[in-house]
């Protein structure tokens, strides 16, 4: 049965390096009744909904902390999304949800610390210790120099490719994302150096397609580039949107302490109309 969720709910449409999100501030109204698979899918649908890679819910805790709940566009709950967290941090400061110089952000993957740095939001990830420089279960193609794994909040396969412009992002990405050797699946990141600059593209789990950027993927990619001896402790990655994500790394005893900084903007503010449950059956054309 098709049914409309409550209209009139205010939201923010935000973009983080091309990752776009529908963001709700719980101070406007309790939005927990929007947190269903069908409603998230309806909101995220391009052409019939607001259109987004995911939906984010913000709740204040104290003057120096807040919580986010993140849902992928397919309705699945995401442990962490780097660009969604950068957007949430930007919004929390812009709307005076927090005003401390450094704040704590509660995510499903744990607490991350955030701040504004050089006019951009920056977050410190929880320590990353699950890193493999090779994944024997997934053979490399001839064009792929390295293939590794890192869990930067969520699982990532990172592939050092000869040229991301011609990599099979959708085909190879979707196959690896569902490889049986990966207990939780994985995002799949392709990276290559072109004219001295690192370029990256991502097939994203939960979106089930290529996104214009991936924050956790940028962190995983920077870690593995460092492990492979291809980069140092500061890595700038040009995303598919043409915007840069910056990663700072510190490694102690095999544990990585990454920080991610990147652009996050409010695209527009809106108010929901009658968003329909698109999971219902529709007549055949």
- Catalytic site positions: 81, 214
- Residue 148's region, left for phi above 0, alpha for psi from -120 to 50, else beta, is beta
Query: Which residues, including other chains, have CB under 8 Å from residue 23's CB and lie 6 or more apart?
Result: 11, 12, 13, 14, 55, 56, 57, 58, 87, 88, 91
Q: What is the DSSP letter of 227?
A: H
Alpha-helical regions (H) of 95-236 = 169-177, 215-227
How many whole angstroms separate alpha carbon 196 and alpha carbon 128? 27
Burial of 278 (0-12, 13-18, 19+ CB in 10 A): middle
Residues 6+ apart with CB under 8 A from 160: 144, 145, 146, 147, 191, 192, 224, 225, 228, 230
Q: How far apart are CA 192 and CA 216, in angstroms?
A: 17
């Amino acid at each position: 049965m098709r049914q409309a969720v409550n209209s009139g709910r205010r939201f923010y449409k935000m973009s983080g390096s091309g990752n776009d999100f529908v963001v709700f501030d719980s101070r406007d109204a309790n939005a927990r009744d929007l947190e269903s698979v069908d409603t998230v899918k309806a909101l995220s649908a391009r052409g019939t909904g607001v259109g987004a890679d995911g939906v984010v819910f913000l709740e204040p805790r104290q003057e120096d902390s807040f919580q986010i709940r993140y849902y992928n566009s397919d309705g699945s709950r995401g442990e962490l999304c780097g660009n969604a967290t950068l957007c949430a941090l930007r919004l929390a400061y812009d709307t005076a949800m927090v005003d401390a110089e450094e704040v704590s952000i509660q995510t499903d993957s744990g607490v991350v610390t955030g701040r504004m740095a050089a006019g951009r939001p920056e977050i410190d990830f929880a320590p990353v210790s699950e890193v493999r420089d090779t994944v024997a279960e997934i053979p490399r193609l001839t064009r792929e120099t390295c293939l590794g794994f890192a869990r930067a909040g969520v699982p990532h396969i990172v592939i050092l490719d000869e040229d991301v412009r011609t990599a099979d992002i959708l085909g190879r990405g979707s196959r690896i994302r569902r490889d049986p050797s990966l207990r939780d699946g994985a995002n799949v990141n392709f990276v290559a150096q072109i004219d001295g600059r690192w370029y990256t593209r991502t097939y994203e789990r939960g979106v089930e397609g290529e996104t214009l950027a991936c924050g956790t993927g940028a962190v995983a990619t920077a870690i593995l580039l460092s492990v492979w001896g291809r980069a140092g402790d500061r890595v700038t990655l040009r995303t598919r949107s043409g915007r840069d994500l910056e990663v700072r790394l510190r490694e102690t005893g095999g544990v990585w302490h990454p920080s991610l900084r990147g652009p996050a903007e409010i695209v527009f503010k809106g108010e929901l109309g009658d968003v329909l449950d698109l999971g219902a059956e529709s007549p055949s054309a």
